[in-house]
Amino acid sequence: MGLARAGLVVSGAFLVSRVLGWVRLVVIGRAFEPAQLDTFFAAFRIPDLIFQLVAAGALSSALIPIVSALLEREEQARAWRVVSTVINVMLIALASLAAVLFLLAPVVMRAITPGFDGEQLERTIVLTRIMLLSPIFLAMGAVASSVLNAGGRFAASAVAPIVYNLAIIGGALFLAPTFGVEGVALGVVAGSLGHLLVQVRPLSRLGFRYEARIDRDDPQARRALALMVPRAFGLGASQVTFIVVTALASTLAVGAVADFNIAFTLLQIPIGVIGVPLGIVLLPSLSRDAAVGRETEFARLLTRALRLLLFAMIPIAGLAAVLRRELVDILFGGGKIGEADLGRIATTLLWFLTGLAAHALIAVLARAFYARQDTLTPVLAAIAAVVRNTTLAIVLVGPLGLSGIALAIALAAWVEAFVLLVILRWRIRELRLASLARVAVQAAVGTVVGSALAFGTNALIGRAIEPDPSALSLILDVGAATAVFGLAYAAVSVVLRIPELASIVEVMVDLIRRPLRS
């Protein structure tokens, strides 16, 4: 139960962060026209590419297994030298990339936003240059998160994204009235700096000591950097998908770039609340099992996590698909985003949701490979997914528009998840895929039943509150449909004897009782 409790603690912080992500999107959506939002989201592509290429998941996949093992052997000083070496190499790489892209921003942005006119393009270039500082701060924050997680400390790294979101919201509320959309970009830079600073003191308490040198002689430092390279290429390659998507969306209707990014952000909420935190909590434990050859324990822990993901993500996707328009109207209705854009966001989200469970599985499966210090296999799978993504997106965008792009990403995610599962099963004979298939089918049955009842509830309430529902009536509608869905899904889980329901209930009851006992 320790794993589940740790996951809930981290998930709670991630939930707050994701809620703030909703607030951030709502505030920005109400403050700017879709055309201005297009420039902001398009400008974000280059800073995000730098961060993903040099840092992001490459850090956790490389640092956590190595630092965890060094701390386990009580080699703290050596662990800090390894971390310092990674920091210094990354700083050099990030500063160089940022400087080059600052100069080449006009050329690069013209290439990835072919549908933008002169004024849109100029604003996108300015926003890109402002936000080039953010990947440097975020990368340093990612190092801090990796080290803290390797030391079994998750709170500060979970709070860091909250600080990031709060700063962006502050930029939209307080800077945007004076500086326009550039104020939001300044908020991004301030948030990335806050993401780092909030972790500095916990890092110091852990015992970390920074050294301003690159240790080329330590084999563990060289291994950490070597492990980062394939993962960095994989993450950089995955950004090709979003660059292609931005280029395709920029040639569609005004606001299409923003609509796509909003729908994709909504998709990321359950992944960030459940999938990513579970992967973060799992990685140190999986790394320790892999380091000492406990294959049975490794397989059991991974199987349990994947079953929990399927049990949670399949119904979330079904419920969100039923209530997609109501959710979008609650979050973004009444602002400067018009009806056409609201409908396009909801439809795009629907197609994204078909791949929700697959995206969550990938977040955990990839870390199972990282725990075994294998960053190459998931990277090759991700690169193959990029090829499928871009090819399908180019083919489907013509007949289906943004929905075609979302469907392409969902299909590629399922193929990637299946490939990773098959490879893991081939390498770890103790891993049993039959139990995963069984819980997926059972969850699908419960989701169909719950979705049908939620759809009926939504339709009945919808007829009562038409033609112009208020935000409060929409919230009540969503709440009622969600309650009906939850009861139906729980009932089916009891009938089918899905053990994950009992595990979740047990953890929740224990969490409620502990404060009462204290």
SS3 272: helix
pLDDT at residue 254 in the model: 85
Measure the CA–CA gap between 295 and 257, rounded to whole angstroms. 45
DSSP per residue, 456-469: HHHHHHHHHH-SS-
Q: Which long-range contacts (CB under 8 A, 24 or more apart) does 411-414 make?
A: 411/355, 412/355, 412/385, 412/386, 412/388, 413/355, 413/358, 413/359, 413/362, 413/385, 414/355, 414/358
pLDDT profile of the chain (518 residues), mean per 10? 55 74 83 88 87 62 76 83 87 89 93 88 95 92 86 82 94 92 95 95 89 84 75 69 89 89 87 67 63 71 82 92 92 81 94 94 83 77 86 91 93 92 84 83 94 92 75 88 93 81 52 40
pLDDT in tens, 21-58: 778 888 888 788 888 899 999 998 888 887 777 655 55
Q: Tell whether the torsion through CA atoms of 209, 212, 214 and 215 is positive or negative.
A: negative
Helix axes 76-112, 219-250, angle to 10 degrees: 20
pLDDT at residue 517 in the model: 42
pLDDT at residue 220 in the model: 81
Q: Which residue has the tokens 């700096």?
A: 193
Token digits for 344?
A: 């396009």
Measure the CA–CA gap between 364 and 360, rounded to whole angstroms. 7
Q: What letter would DSSP give residue 470? A: -
Give the domain ranges of the chain: 32-242
pLDDT at residue 510 in the model: 43
